[in-house]
Structure 1
Amino acid sequence: MISYVKGPLVDIFEDTVIIEAGYIGLEIHVPLSVLDRLPGIGMETILYTYFQVREDGMCLYGFLNRQDLRMFKQLISVSGIGPKGALGVLSAMTPDDLRVAIISGDAKAISRAPGIGVKTAQRVILDLKDKIDMADVLPAQFAAAEGPEISAGGVAKEAIEALVALGYSQTEANRAVGKVEVSDDMTSEDVLKASLKHLAFL
């Protein structure tokens, strides 16, 4: 198993890159979200990889961090989605946007990826909604701020701040959280998940 590849970036193509590792040039398939964030040619690069062995050959798929690699592995665990299909999804939307779409049940957003119909998108949501780690979605300051003493009002405030940090407007965040019946036993993650579901239908 090849966990990661580290070395100078040799070349960049439409959906693959070449990284030199141990005097060998490795071709690695990557989503567009990776291509947009790569350093310049000749710069040292590290990609966390998934190694696929097939009857007709072997393929490496690479990602900039372990969280995005985990998202890729979760996608290919869904029936009907192979590595190329998963790469297409992660090229059509960022891993963070995909996580938010899964949590909020936004099948329409996922189905915009090439080769992914509404039924497959719904299957992605059904299979993965309980596997998404909110720590990968929430900005770090909110993921670490949870505490049992936080009141319902404080939890709602944190959820609003997290939605704004995720790119929603203050008005959208206030409206979405306002539709959630917040109780004392709910965490900000609970409120955020419920709010994202409301936002998916706005």
Structure 2
Amino acid sequence: MYQYIKGIVEEVNIDFIVVECNGIGYRINTSQNTIYQVKKGDEIKIYTKLIVREDDMSICGFKTQEELKMFELLNSVSKIGPKVALSILSFAEPRRLGAFILSEDIASLSKAPGVGKKTAERMILELKDKIDKHNVDFEQTLLTSSNKNVLEMDEAVQALVALGYSLAEAKDAANKCKKECCDTEGLIKKCLMYLMK
């Protein structure tokens, strides 16, 4: 029904934003990745998906078409609804999720909120053949040292968010402390020291 909504960001909350367009405020459920990229007062174009249920209608929206495509793929997996799909997209960006799925990385997918081993296996089974078909940008390998560093940063950021820090604070700390550490545990400790200054 709605391809996208273009307007001014009026509110930014932990799991949704409000965009005003022609005098109407649209509550748009979204991921931490999108929330991290917007701030109140921004004029944005947000790509949307209308979710219709028997007792509710809601809008999910994303800053990029890539994230919207991945949301639609995740939402197509049996037993993964919009809420869990948004949690997964808050856990990792679409290109990393694509890499996890294509490399059948059950361990990494299982770390996403609301995803256990069985759900991770189901995601791989149902989406592995769809990633290329839907032209989702992805990394084909996670074996290089640079990608290993990215994974360690992702894990550190998620740990900091779980401790109560915002995604923006966690990413900022991880970026500033990454050169001083050689593993995830060390990075988390350095980030906590940085954030408590």
Alignment partners' CA distance in 1, 2:72 and 2:2: 14
For structure 2, which runs of at least 5 residues remain unmatched after alignment?
149-197
Residues 110-154 of structure 1 show CA distances to partners (whole Å, capped at 9, x for unaligned) of: 11112211011011001111111366125xxxxxxxxxxxxxxxx
Aligned partner of 1:3 in structure 2 is: 3
Residue 90 of structure 2 is aligned to residue 122 of structure 1:
no
Distance 2:124 2:23 in 1: 42
Aligned pairs (5 A) from 1:56-67: 56-67=55-66
The superposition leaves residues 27-70 of structure 1 with CA deviations (integer Å, 9 ceiling, x where unpaired) of 000111111111x3112011101101112221100111112111
Q: Give the corresponding residue for 1:72.
A: 71
The alpha-carbon distance between structure 1 residues 60 and 167, as it changes in their structure 2 partners (threshold 3 A), is: farther
Task: Give the paired residue count.
Answer: 147
Aligned-partner Cα distance in 2 for 1:20–1:47: 12
SS in 1 for 2:147: coil
Q: Give 1:168 deviation, angstroms.
A: 2.5
Q: Give the superposition deviation at 1:167.
A: 3.6
TM-score (norm 2): 0.69
- Partner SS, residue 46 of structure 1: strand
**Hey, what does 1:25 align to over in structure 2?**
25
Task: Give, as a single letter, the amino acid of the residue that structure 1 aligns with 2:2.
Answer: I
Please tell me whether Structure 1 or Structure 2 has the larger radius of gyration of its CA atoms: 1
SS at match of 1:168: helix
From the superposition, tell whether residues 86 and 22 of structure 1 become closer, same or farther in structure 2 (CA, over 3 Å).
same
What is the match of residue 154 of structure 2? none
Residue 137 of structure 1: aligned partner: 138
1:13 is aligned to 13
- Long gaps (5+) in structure 1: 139-158, 170-202
Aligned-partner Cα distance in 2 for 1:167–1:81:
31
SS of residue paired to 1:73? helix
Query: Over aligned residues, Cα RMSD in angstroms?
Result: 2.3
Q: Distance in 2 between matches of 1:91 and 1:135?
A: 17
How far apart, CA to CA, are the structure 1 residues paired with 2:117 and 2:98?
17
The TM-score with structure 1 as length reference comes to 0.67
